[in-house]
Amino acid sequence: LFELICARYERKSILITANQPFGEWNKVFPDPAMTLAAVDRLVHHATIFEMNVESYRRRSAMEAKAKASQVVSLRDNQRKSSDCRGASITRRITAC
């Protein structure tokens, strides 16, 4: 990525999308000096659009997870109620 940024710096346009702010790019590049140089080249003459929106993938995954837990909860409740139907009265009182 660093080589691409350097090759295009002040020669051609470059469009980069990232899910990390510049402050966390030290996780992308192995060397702090390389991180600083890459960010410096990117922001020089740059137009930055920062869109703080929720990830569609994350939201979809959370909705699917919630739906799955509701299904499991319903199954557990149905299983418990079916266990109680055939039980003796004393077992129903204590267990159900």
Residue 50 CA neighbour count, 13 Å, CB half: 5
pLDDT digits (tens, 9 = 90+) for 3-25: 888 888 888 888 888 888 888 88
Mean pLDDT of 45-73: 83
pTM listed for this prediction: 0.47
Residue 23 is predicted with a pLDDT of 83
**Token pair in block for residue 5:** 């940024």
Task: Provide the 8-state DSSP code for 20.
Answer: S
The CA–CA distances, whole Å, from 95 to 9, 29, 35, 89 equal: 71, 58, 62, 10
User: CB neighbours of 39 closer than 8 A, spacing ≥ 6?
Assistant: 22, 25
Q: pLDDT band at 72, cuts 50/70/90?
A: low
The answer to whether 71 touches 78, Cβ cutoff 8 Å, is: no
Report the pLDDT value the prediction gives residue 85, as an integer from 0 to 100: 59
